[in-house]
Amino acid sequence: MKDKNFLNAKIISFEGIEACGKSTQIELLKEYLDENKITYLALREPGSNDTAEKIRDLLLNKDLKKDPLTEILLFMAARRELFIDQIVPNLNKKKVFILDRSIDSTLVYQAMAHDLDWEYFYGLHEELNLCIVPHRTFYFQMNYENSIERQKTRNQEQDYFEQKPKRYYTKLISGYDYLSQRFPDRFVTINADETIQSISTKVRKVVMELLDR
Ligand code: TYD
């Protein structure tokens, strides 16, 4: 989607492998935006709309096997719901849209991790006018071992994507690394092993610069 259609709103996405710490940083960013009276809408993908949440249940259910193309189509369907129901009607009302994952997750988790042509699916998003390219993408870079370690400390049952084998995670990491180099203007790579405070300071700085404040 072209910049002009977003008026003054900025779209910021948070990306990375499982347990990379993005949810904590999203919460801290929301607090900071509240303190500074900057209007925002925080959304998660897939989800943030009744239909998209149903699609999410299906996608994360580890008892349901899914073909990679089926996954892509379901994530795109959920994205369409989010776009039509949450983003478009709020473009004039919010300064910032915070996306907990977006198009890059699909490119990495569904296309690159399955050795599919990610550029084709990027183009498909464009053709369908679903290409919500964020103004900034925070990529929380973390290795496989640390992700697994953090998942253990959470003590929750692993979902469909979390339970994937190491080789899948390895492809996710190299996929994100690749995209961060391919799109250096919007990607901000963050070492996810830094302290919560230090990461939060960096995130705030980038967001305030983006908002020109
Ligand atoms: P979630 O519990 O929100 O995981 P996380 O906290 O790591 O974001 O579940 C979302 C899962 O969906 C996550 O494992 C990544 C996956 N996903 C894709 O595979 N493709 C996508 O396009 C999106 C948006 C998410």
Does the pLDDT of residue 3 top 60, yes or no? Answer: no
- 45 C-alpha to ligand 1 centroid (Å): 7
Q: How confident is the model at residue 5 (pLDDT cuts 50, 70, 90)?
A: low
Cα 192 to Cα 16, 98, 132, 148, 177, distances in angstroms: 9, 18, 25, 13, 13
Per-residue pLDDT tens over the stretch 22-34? 999 999 999 999 9
Does ligand 1 lie within 6 Å of residue 147's CB atom?
A: no
Give the closest residue to 161 by CA, choosing from 51, 71, 43.
Answer: 71
The whole-number pLDDT of residue 196 equals 98
Domain extent, residue 42, equals 3-210
Whether the CB-CB separation of 1 and 103 falls below 8 Å is answered with: no
- 172 C-alpha to ligand 1 centroid (Å): 12
How many domains does the chain fold into? 1
Does the pLDDT of residue 2 top 60, yes or no? Answer: no
The whole-number pLDDT of residue 6 equals 61
Rounded Cα distance between 213 and 36, Å, is 11
Does ligand 1 lie within 6 Å of residue 81's CB atom?
A: no
Task: State percent of the chain over pLDDT 70.
Answer: 97
What is the pTM (predicted TM-score) of this model? 0.96
The whole-number pLDDT of residue 213 equals 80
**Arithmetic mean of pLDDT over the chain:** 95
Rounded Cα distance between 79 and 15, Å, is 15
- 87 C-alpha to ligand 1 centroid (Å): 19
Does ligand 1 lie within 6 Å of residue 46's CB atom?
A: yes
Does ligand 1 lie within 6 Å of residue 110's CB atom?
A: yes
Does ligand 1 lie within 6 Å of residue 75's CB atom?
A: yes
- 17 C-alpha to ligand 1 centroid (Å): 9
The whole-number pLDDT of residue 43 equals 98
**Distance from first CA to last CA of the chain, Å, rounded?**
24
Rounded Cα distance between 58 and 42, Å, is 22
For 87-104, what is the mean pLDDT?
Answer: 96
Rounded Cα distance between 49 and 34, Å, is 23
Give the closest residue to 23 by CA, choosing from 165, 192, 211.
Answer: 192
For 112-122, what is the mean pLDDT?
Answer: 97
Please give the single-letter amino acid code of residue 144: Y
SS3 readout for the chain: CCHHHHCCCEEEEEEECCCCCHHHHHHHHHHHHHHCCCCEEEEECCCCCHHHHHHHHHHHCCCCCCCHHHHHHHHHHHHHHHHHHHHHHHCCCCCEEEEECCHHHHHHHHHHHHCCCHHHHHHHHHHCCCCCCCCEEEEEECCHHHHHHHHHHHCCCCCCCCCCCHHHHHHHHHHHHHHHHHCCCCEEEEECCCCHHHHHHHHHHHHHHHCCC
Per-residue pLDDT tens over the stretch 123-180? 999 999 888 899 999 999 999 999 999 999 998 999 999 999 999 999 999 999 999 9
Does the pLDDT of residue 42 top 80, yes or no? Answer: yes
Does ligand 1 lie within 6 Å of residue 24's CB atom?
A: no
CATH number at residue 59: 3.40.50.300
- 213 C-alpha to ligand 1 centroid (Å): 31
